[in-house]
Amino acid sequence: MRGDRSKRRKCRRSRIPADRHFLASGCLTSIRRVWADTLFRAEQQHLLRLLLWCGVSIIAATTIAVTLTIRRVRSPLLRQFALQMGVWGVVFGAIAAIRWSTLSLRDLAGAARLERMVWLNVGLDAGYAAAGVMLAASAWLLARRLGPVGAGIGIVVQGMALLVIDLQLAAIVSR
């Protein structure tokens, strides 16, 4: 016990050189702060990837809609695909922006909640993709209608992209 006190006093007085790792100093340090900061940065990167995908989705939807309008082409498949891309981009972009504004360092309980939320999102993303496949397949096989096929393909694209983005965060959080 006495050795710990003298070590603490010595660590307070000494400065750790910048080229040495803080764990190599022998001082008692707080790992929680470093871990929380690493998790915070990973969550920030996740939200930036999500915002980037939402921006790409909105730009793609706008480009398709403008092209169809300028060329005066009636394509229910492309129109519904563009609609799905735009709506999903706006909705998930708003969610990401709100999460960005409320982002803060997490303790252990907050990290556990984040991990559960990320795995829930992974399951939902897989469900979105499966629902899109079912919509597109049933619309084509049962009615030969291209509008719902385009909507289904748009949902599959969004679900798969969100799945990849969420799995990247899940790989970091679940370590």
Query: Which residue ranges make up each domain of the chain?
Result: 32-173
Consecutive H or E run containing 105: none
Average pLDDT over residues 105-123: 94
More confident residue, 38 or 84: 84
Confidence check: pLDDT of 27 > 70 = no
Confidence check: pLDDT of 31 > 50 = no
pLDDT at residue 175, as a whole number: 77
Rounded Cα distance, 79 and 71, in Å: 13
What is the phi-psi region of residue 135: left when phi exceeds 0, alpha when psi lies from -120 to 50, beta otherwise? alpha
pLDDT at residue 174, as a whole number: 87
Average pLDDT over residues 14-36: 53
Rounded Cα distance, 34 and 85, in Å: 38
Confidence check: pLDDT of 170 > 80 = yes
Rounded Cα distance, 169 and 111, in Å: 12
